Each structure stands twice: as structure tokens, then as C-alpha cells.
């Protein structure tokens, strides 16, 4: 195989693909270049299929420290477990490529993407998606479609296709769309909050700084409405169609001879299917009516046992696996037929009806903020813990030269007992990280931009039957309000589904697990009453018509409005948690910040210890933030700091060299004594100037607070050198 290199310039990307150059023993591989970024993508297959009915695909996206000319930080100088960005990118690649595989493909497959050279302007998720798709397309795996990814941004009302990373930092929209041809496969979206400067100015009178103009600002979440979102997705769809056509034409001559793989056949016995339909239709419908996943599975097992016993009594062969597969297929048909033809859902709800909701806030007395949000058989206990800036999570991106701080963290936990499974609770998996990230993207635009601290939100899923990530958003929003976090507006989330056959389709609001499993779309939408702040969509069909998408968005808006109304009612009844820390914000003259800190930080340390508070200072504007568990101590600390700030500015005396002065022993250290002089400033009496003979222990002669007579030896600016009369005698 000869090395082949192709360059493609499309959708504002300049890409270079090098084939047959690296990893030649893999099923397919490519070296991908964009700017200074270089990625290696390789595909490997195990030609022995698994027995289970699923696609055992593993995607690994990895960033090497050397790619940014860095050595890994910490004790171990080797890359260890993947970071959140790597895990989330792996999940995006998996969700984008999985729909391309043919039905019955049950062969273990690994797709590895490594970043070996970084570029601070290259979108690594787009690069990784394209590299992985190219490696898979030219491989000997029977995948005949190529994907393309497009990110849409918006800066000052200007829409951008595939913005650079620096442009993304300025954008108020982050929309990632992945598709193949005219089919949309996956969508992820979030908006970013921004401050809007009004034209109104008022005078702010500062007694120390004089009059200054104050420009009023307000915050916007930059929510998208349905029309704006459809327009943006349509724009991305055209770019995807154009790109995938180019990729297909370019890569097709490079495709390897496909492996002769025997795809698994669907094990559905038509005779057995008809038998079930004739004799067990009511039993299956009754099993479907059991809403919880664990109960439904138990009821279906009972139906399966009943069928097998009946078949054996009739002298017919009954292979357990075939009966299970056929029963699962029949159950799926029943569920979909009920919805499509009769508009009947398994739990009897209307197509646009949201399950019953109950909300309880601040039920945990020792927690800053908490909410128990229950929707149907999905329940999330969400807590909020408030901290200082120093509590932020530090992390690094390979495209950044410096580390970043995450001041708003969302941690989502999904224990096995939430679906009735006896399962060990371990480290969070990709799904948990993905759901937590979705909730973070939905809530973050609504948190006040001037919030000066760190927030950790944790969602414990106690029960799950669909939409647990949306319960996290709803419960998380109210937990934030229960912790008195300033927010622009309430945020709610709802999961939408769809069932379709041919040209007929039905959109479902607030889907449960059964409808997610047997439906054709999982569409999660979150936002305020004004619009959408985040969404995530996965399509199980080949694609989705924009009219269908518009219908889903309109129905979601109605469901979201219903949930927000209930959340507003719950918010009005919030009783503040007794554990909520007291926080005070105030300003002093910037020149007084040094006095609050004190010499070598002595004054601020004394305040922290005496009043049991934490203090954050802003030197530029004279901002002071006090936090503590005891409100009275926080108030006392505020008064103490204000006294320091209001004290008149001290002026150092011009001392007469050789003259004696009365001072006070301020502090005794190994090398001498700090003496508080009559003007209030400290001067050093060095141990060598105490007495003519050598002094080994000053504590034997002096104590803090003692009066002491000193002679000024020299004064240079603020620096004053002292000696004792005894030394000079």
C-alpha cells in the first residue's frame, strides 16, 4: 500500500489526511492535520463476534501532554486516566459513529484517536470526529457512510461556521451538529450568558473618590427560540451535506477490501410471533403497563416462562433465546402500534402530557441548598455546596498554555438501585459524566456572572424511569435557589421522544424508559421561559426532517412551561437553610487594602482567626468579600475591617538621629524586636543592637507589650534602624 495524502478545504477548515503512512496493521488508520494540530486515528476489530445483541464499540480519545510540549503535572509523569474533556469527546465520537454500522454487527471494535500535536486555535472535537470517521470509512469494516461535524457560533449577531477556539470564547452560541449527507445524527447545543450594557448612566458618589459615572448592566442567557434554532440547524445541515459528499468522493478510492464478516440475523420466529400475538397479547400489554424498568422486566420474564411452559406442554421446541428475542420484538411492536395508531401510551398519558411532579426544597438541614425533585418514577436528590474561589476545580486543556478554574461543578451519580439492579457503585462512567455536563451547560447561563465563589452541585439519582438528566436540571435549579444563589431565571428540562413508521410520526413529551428504548429519538431540551439554553439529540433513524424537529421543539416548549410553573410555585415556598453561610460584600478605598492585609499578612490573618471568616480582596476596586458560618461573627468582621479602612492615613514621623523615643515591643523574633514607634509604624531593633555583649534569648529580657526606650540610629524613607541606650553607653 502506497502512502497517499489528500487536502480538503471546506466549511472554513483546511484539513490534510495522510493514509497508509502509520499504523498499517490496524483495520484502518489516518494521520490528520489541521493547522499545527496532528491527530492519529486507528480502527481495530476482533473478528470473533459477541453472543449478545449489541454493538461492542469502544471509542478512546486521548490527548498526549507532549503534544503541547508539556510534561504531565503531579507525582506521576505519565498520562493516567482521561480527563473530563477526553471522556466527553470519546462519547461524542461514539454517538456519532454508532448509527453508521449495519444491523447485526456484533464484532468488538476499538476506535482510538490520539492528539500528538496541538494547536491553540483548532477545535479538537471537530478534528477528532473527522479523523475517526476517515479511519473508519477507509478501513476494511463494512461501513459505507462518512460523517461530517459542524460547529455553529454567534458573535454580535453574526453566525459563524466552525469558529476557531478564540472565536468560540467570544461566541454566545455553541451548536455542534453531526450528520451524514442530508441526515442529522446528533446535536449538542448550549448558550453562554453575557452582560448587556444599557445606555442609562447615573452618578455614583464616593466620598473618597468623588463622582464617577456608573453604567447599568443586565445579564442575558442568550436563549434560542425554536425558529432561530431550526435556522441554525438547517445551516449546519447544508454544510454537512456538502462536506460528506466531498469526503465520500475523496476517500472512496482509498477504501480497503472489506472483511467477510457474517452479520447476526435477527432471531425472530414468525410462527412463534404469530402464536404470541394470538394467545398472549393481553399478557404483554399488562406487562408493558408496569411502569418501572425492573417491574416491567420481571413481568416480561413471567410472560416468557408462561409461553415456554405452554409450548413444552404442546410438545413444541422452545429455545429460550429465540422466545426472548421474539417476545422483545413483539413487545416493541405493541408499544409502537399503541402510540402510532391509537395515541395511547403505556401509562395512559396523553402524547404531550408530563408525568406528575412533586418538589421538596431544603430537606437536608446541614446542606447549603437541596431539592428532592420527583417526576413520575424518576427522582433526583440534588444538593448545592457553596465555596470560595480557592475551592474551584483546576484543569488543563491541551490547547491552552495555562490552567483553568471550574467555578461551577455538576456531578451526576446513577447508582444501580435506582433501576432495581444489585450493582457496585464505582467511579462515574461516560454516561454519568455526559449527563452531568448536559445539566451544567443548561444551568450555567442562568447563574449571575458576578457570582464570586465556587458552586458544587451534586445529583443523586434515587429512582429512574427516563429523563433523569432533566430531573437533575430541574432539581438543580431549585437547589441553587434554595442556596440563595442569584440567578437570572429558572431553568427546566424535558426529554422528548418520537415514534415513526413511513410518513407517519408521533412526538412524545417527557418520555419514560420504555419509550426511549423502543422509540426513534431521544431529544433533551432545557431552558428558561424565554427559550433554550441547552439541548442534546440522538437519532436512531437515518435522519430527521426539520418539520418533525420543529414540532418536537414546540411541544417541548409547552411541557417546559408547565414544569416551570410548578417550579415557580416551589420557589415561592423556599425556607432558607440554617447551614447557609453568611456572606457580606462591600467596598473600601483601594488604598486601604494594604492596611487590611497588614505587614506580611499579619492583620488579615488575625481577622480570619479571630472572627472565623474567609476573606477575598480585590485590590483594583477595593472589593471585600467575607464568608463564614456565624452571621454575627461575619458582621463583626465587617465592622472591624471598616474601622481599619476608615482610620486616617498615618504619616511617618521624621525622626532625629541620635534622639531617644518611647516605643512598645510589638513582636519578638529570633533576629530582633519589632518596636511600635510613637507614630504607629514599626521599626526593627536588631538583636546585635540590644546590648554590647551577645544576647542569646530576647524573651528573657522583653515581653510583647512592654514599654521600651530606643535611640534612632538612621532613617531611610520608611526604614528606621534602632539601638538601645544600653548598647550605645
Mean residue pLDDT of the chain comes to: 89
In this prediction, residue 216 has a pLDDT band, given cuts at 50, 70 and 90, of: very low
Q: 45 forms bridges with which residues in the sheet?
A: 109
pLDDT at 20: 95
Indicate whether 619 and 691 sit together in one domain: no
* Residue 599 counted as domain residue: yes
pLDDT value at 641 more than 60:
yes
d(CA 711, CA 64): 64
* Residue 212 counted as domain residue: no
Indicate whether 484 and 370 sit together in one domain: yes
pLDDT tens for 104-127 read 999 999 999 999 999 999 999 999
Give the helix ranges, DSSP H, for 206-265: 226-251
Q: Which grid coordinates are listed for 418?
A: 435506582
pLDDT at 209: 34
pLDDT value at 301 more than 90:
no
Q: CATH number for the domain including 617?
A: 3.30.1370.10
d(CA 694, CA 386): 54
d(CA 378, CA 355): 10
Number of domains in the chain: 5
Mean of pLDDT values over 377-404: 89
pLDDT at 366: 94
- Give exposure, 340-353, as e/b (b: 16+ Cβ within 10 Å): beeebbbbebeebe
Q: CATH number for the domain including 96?
A: 3.30.230.70
Indicate whether 26 and 121 sit together in one domain: yes
Cα 156 to Cα 122, 150, 199, 448, distances in angstroms: 22, 20, 17, 21
Indicate whether 693 and 634 sit together in one domain: no
In this prediction, residue 128 has a pLDDT band, given cuts at 50, 70 and 90, of: very high
Containing structural domain, residue 631:
582-646
Q: Three-state SS for 473?
A: helix
pLDDT value at 312 more than 90:
no
Indicate whether 560 and 587 sit together in one domain: no
Sign of CA dihedral 589, 595, 600, 603: negative
d(CA 488, CA 451): 12
* Residue 228 counted as domain residue: yes
Q: Which grid coordinates are listed for 416?
A: 444501580
In this prediction, residue 208 has a pLDDT band, given cuts at 50, 70 and 90, of: very low
Q: CATH number for the domain including 299?
A: 1.10.10
Mean of pLDDT values over 332-340: 89
Mean of pLDDT values over 504-532: 90
pLDDT value at 207 more than 80:
no
In this prediction, residue 150 has a pLDDT band, given cuts at 50, 70 and 90, of: very high
* Residue 137 counted as domain residue: yes
* Residue 153 counted as domain residue: yes
Residues 6 or more apart whose Cβ sits within 8 Å of residue 119: 34, 35, 36, 37, 399
Query: Which one has a higher pLDDT value, 428 or 60?
Result: 60
Strands, E, within 319-466: which ranges? 357-361, 369-375, 378-387, 393-395, 404-406, 408-413, 454-463
Q: Three-state SS for 306?
A: helix
Q: DSSP assignment, residue 224?
A: B
Indicate whether 639 and 686 sit together in one domain: no
502: left (phi over 0), alpha (psi -120 to 50) or beta: left
pLDDT tens for 490-501 read 999 999 999 988
pLDDT tens for 616-638 read 888 888 888 888 888 888 889 99
Indicate whether 279 and 171 sit together in one domain: no
What share of the chain in percent tops pLDDT 90?
53
pLDDT at 90: 97
Sign of CA dihedral 520, 524, 528, 532: negative
Indicate whether 114 and 38 sit together in one domain: yes
* Reported pTM: 0.83
pLDDT tens for 243-299 read 999 999 999 999 999 999 999 887 677 888 888 888 888 888 888 876 555 555 677
pLDDT at 195: 77
* Residue 36 counted as domain residue: yes
CB atoms within 10 A of CB 450: 10
Indicate whether 421 and 566 sit together in one domain: yes
pLDDT value at 214 more than 60:
no
Mean of pLDDT values over 678-689: 86
Domain stops at, among 342, 368, 393: 342
Mean of pLDDT values over 671-676: 89
Domain stops at, among 646, 672, 697: 646
d(CA 452, CA 449): 8
Indicate whether 637 and 684 sit together in one domain: no
Residues 6 or more apart whose Cβ sits within 8 Å of residue 685: 672, 673, 674, 675, 708, 710, 722, 723, 724
Mean of pLDDT values over 165-181: 95
Mean of pLDDT values over 158-164: 95
Farthest CA pair distance, the chain: 123
* Residue 591 counted as domain residue: yes
* Residue 187 counted as domain residue: yes
**Looking at beta carbons, which pairs linking 275-278 to residues 24 or more positions away fall under 8 Å?**
275/307, 276/307, 276/326, 276/327, 276/330, 277/330
Q: CATH number for the domain including 668?
A: 2.40.50.140
Indicate whether 432 and 563 sit together in one domain: yes
Indicate whether 468 and 413 sit together in one domain: yes
d(CA 232, CA 522): 20
pLDDT at 541: 67
pLDDT at 656: 86
Amino acid at each position: 500500500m502506497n502512502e497517499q495524502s489528500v487536502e480538503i478545504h471546506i466549511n472554513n477548515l483546511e484539513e490534510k489526511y495522510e493514509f497508509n503512512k502509520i499504523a498499517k496493521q490496524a483495520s484502518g488508520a489516518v494521520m490528520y492535520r489541521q493547522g499545527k494540530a496532528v491527530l492519529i486515528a486507528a480502527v481495530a476489530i476482533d473478528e470473533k463476534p459477541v453472543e449478545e445483541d449489541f454493538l461492542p464499540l469502544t471509542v478512546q480519545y486521548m490527548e498526549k501532554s507532549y503534544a503541547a510540549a508539556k510534561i504531565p503535572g503531579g507525582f506521576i509523569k505519565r498520562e493516567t486516566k482521561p480527563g473530563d474533556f477526553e471522556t466527553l469527546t470519546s462519547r461524542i465520537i461514539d454517538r456519532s459513529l454508532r448509527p453508521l454500522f449495519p444491523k447485526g454487527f456484533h464484532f468488538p471494535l476499538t476506535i482510538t484517536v490520539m492528539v500528538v500535536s496541538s494547536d491553540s486555535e483548532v477545535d479538537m472535537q471537530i478534528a477528532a470526529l473527522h479523523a475517526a470517521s476517515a479511519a473508519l470509512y477507509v478501513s476494511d469494516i463494512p461501513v459505507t457512510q462518512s460523517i461530517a461535524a459542524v460547529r455553529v457560533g454567534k458573535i454580535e449577531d453574526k453566525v459563524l461556521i466552525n469558529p476557531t477556539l478564540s472565536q468560540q470564547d467570544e461566541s454566545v452560541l455553541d451548536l455542534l451538529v453531526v450528520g451524514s449527507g442530508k441526515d442529522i445524527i446528533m446535536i449538542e447545543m448550549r448558550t453562554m450568558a453575557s452582560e448587556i450594557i444599557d445606555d442609562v448612566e447615573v452618578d455614583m458618589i464616593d466620598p473618597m473618590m468623588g463622582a464617577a459615572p456608573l453604567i447599568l448592566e443586565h445579564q442575558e442567557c442568550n436563549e434560542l427560540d425554536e425558529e432561530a434554532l431550526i435556522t441554525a440547524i438547517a445551516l449546519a445541515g447544508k454544510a454537512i451535506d456538502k462536506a460528506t459528499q466531498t469526503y465520500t468522493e475523496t476517500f472512496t478510492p482509498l477504501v480497503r477490501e472489506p472483511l467477510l464478516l457474517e452479520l447476526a440475523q435477527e432471531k425472530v420466529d414468525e410462527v412463534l410471533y404469530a402464536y404470541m400475538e394470538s394467545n398472549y397479547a393481553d399478557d404483554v400489554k399488562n406487562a408493558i403497563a408496569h411502569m418501572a424498568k425492573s417491574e416491567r422486566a420481571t413481568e416480561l420474564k413471567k410472560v416468557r416462562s408462561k409461553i415456554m411452559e405452554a409450548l413444552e406442554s404442546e410438545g413444541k421446541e422452545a429455545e429460550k433465546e429465540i422466545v426472548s428475542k421474539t417476545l422483545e420484538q413483539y413487545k416493541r411492536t405493541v408499544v409502537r402500534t399503541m402510540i402510532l395508531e391509537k395515541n395511547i401510551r403505556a401509562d395512559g398519558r396523553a402524547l404531550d402530557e408530563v408525568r406528575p411532579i412533586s418538589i421538596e426544597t431544603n430537606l437536608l438541614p446541614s446542606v447549603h441548598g437541596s431539592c428532592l425533585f420527583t417526576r413520575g418514577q424518576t427522582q433526583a436528590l440534588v444538593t448545592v455546596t457553596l465555596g470560595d474561589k480557592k475551592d474551584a476545580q483546576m484543569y488543563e486543556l491541551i490547547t491552552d498554555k495555562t490552567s483553568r478554574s471550574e467555578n461551577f461543578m455538576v456531578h451526576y451519580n446513577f447508582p444501580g438501585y435506582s433501576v432495581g439492579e444489585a450493582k457496585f457503585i464505582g467511579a462515574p462512567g461516560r454516561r454519568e459524566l455526559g449527563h452531568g455536563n448536559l445539566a451544567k451547560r443548561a444551568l450555567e447561563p442562568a447563574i449571575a456572572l458576578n457570582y464570586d465563589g465556587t458552586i458544587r452541585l451534586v445529583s443523586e439519582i434515587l429512582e429512574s424511569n427516563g429523563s433523569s438528566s432533566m430531573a437533575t436540571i430541574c432539581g438543580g435549579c431549585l437547589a441553587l435557589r434554595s442556596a440563595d444563589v442569584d440567578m437570572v431565571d429558572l431553568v427546566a428540562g424535558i426529554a422528548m421522544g418520537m415514534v415513526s413508521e413511513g410518513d407517519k410520526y408521533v412526538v412524545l413529551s417527557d418520555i419514560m424508559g420504555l419509550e426511549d428504548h423502543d422509540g426513534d429519538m431521544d431529544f433533551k431540551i432545557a431552558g428558561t421561559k424565554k427559550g433554550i439554553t441547552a439541548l442534546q439529540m440522538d437519532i436512531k433513524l437515518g435522519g430527521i426532517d426539520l418539520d418533525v424537529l420543529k414540532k418536537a421543539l414546540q411541544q417541548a416548549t409547552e411541557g417546559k412551561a408547565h414544569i416551570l410553573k410548578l417550579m415557580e410555585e416551589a420557589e415561592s415556598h423556599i425556607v432558607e437553610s440554617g447551614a447557609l453561610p453568611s456572606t457580606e460584600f462591600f467596598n473600601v478605598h483601594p488604598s486601604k487594602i494594604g492596611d487590611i492585609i497588614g505587614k506580611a499578612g499579619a492583620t488579615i490573618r488575625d481577622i480570619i482567626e479571630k472572627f472565623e471568616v474567609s476573606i477575598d480582596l480585590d485590590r483594583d476596586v477595593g472589593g471585600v468579600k467575607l464568608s463564614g458560618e456565624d452571621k454575627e461573627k461575619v458582621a463583626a468582621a465587617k465592622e472591624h475591617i471598616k474601622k481599619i479602612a476608615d482610620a486616617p492615613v498615618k504619616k511617618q514621623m521624621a525622626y532625629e538621629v541620635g534622639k531617644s523615643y518611647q516605643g512598645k515591643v510589638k513582636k519578638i523574633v529570633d533576629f530582633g524586636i519589632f518596636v511600635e514607634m510613637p507614630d504607629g509604624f514599626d521599626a526593627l531593633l536588631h538583636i546585635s543592637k540590644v546590648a554590647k555583649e551577645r544576647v542569646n534569648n530576647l524573651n528573657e529580657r522583653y515581653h510583647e507589650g512592654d514599654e521600651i526606650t530606643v535611640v534612632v540610629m538612621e532613617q531611610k524613607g520608611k526604614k528606621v534602624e534602632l539601638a538601645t541606650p544600653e548598647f550605645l553607653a
